[in-house]
Amino acid sequence: MRCSLAAAVALCLSAAGVCAQEPAKTPIKLDIVNDALPKSLTGTPGNAEAGRKVFLTRTLGNCLACHQVTSLKSEEFHGEFGPSLDGVAGRYTEAQLRLIVADPKRIFTDTVMPAFFRNEGLSRVRPEFVGKSILTAAQVEDVIAFLKTLN
Partner 1 sequence: MLQRFVGLAAAGLASASVATCAFAQETERKGIPAPPGHVFKTIISGYEFRSKETRALQDDDLENPGFLAVERAADVWKKVEGTEGKSCMSCHGQAETSMKGVGAAMPKWDDKLKKPVNLEQRINICRTDHMKAEPWKFKSQELTDMTAFVRYQSHGMPVTVKSDGPMSPWFERGKAIYYTRFGQLDLACESCHERNNGKFMRADFLSQGQTNGFPTYRLRDQRLVPLHERFEGCMFDVRAEPFKPLSDEFLALELYVAWRGIGLPVETPAVRN
Name the residues that contact ligand HEC, by CB under 6 A.
61-63, 65-67, 81-83, 85, 88, 91, 97, 100-101, 108, 111-114, 116, 143, 147
For residue 66, state whether it binds partner 1 (rule: CB under 8 A): yes
C-alpha to C-alpha distance for 146 and 30, rounded to whole angstroms = 21
The residue from 21, 26, 47, 62 that contacts partner 1 (CB under 8 A) is 62
CB of 76 to partner 1, least distance (A): 7
Beta-carbon contacts of 100 under 8 Å, excluding residues fewer than 6 positions away, are 92, 107, 108, 113
Cβ–Cβ < 8 Å for 101, 115: no
Nearer to partner 1, 23 or 45 (CB): 23
Cβ–Cβ < 8 Å for 95, 38: yes
For residue 2, state whether it binds partner 1 (rule: CB under 8 A): no
C-alpha to C-alpha distance for 85 and 111, rounded to whole angstroms = 16
Residues 81-100 that bind partner 1 (CB under 8 A): 81, 83-88, 91-92, 96
C-alpha to C-alpha distance for 135 and 114, rounded to whole angstroms = 11
Instruction: Choose one: 14-22, 23-31, 38-46, 102-110; the region binding partner 1 (CB under 8 A).
Output: 102-110
C-alpha to C-alpha distance for 138 and 135, rounded to whole angstroms = 8
> Which residues here bind partner 1, judged by CB under 8 A?
34-35, 58, 62, 64-66, 68-70, 73, 76-81, 83-88, 91-92, 96, 107-109, 112, 114-115, 122-127, 129, 132, 134
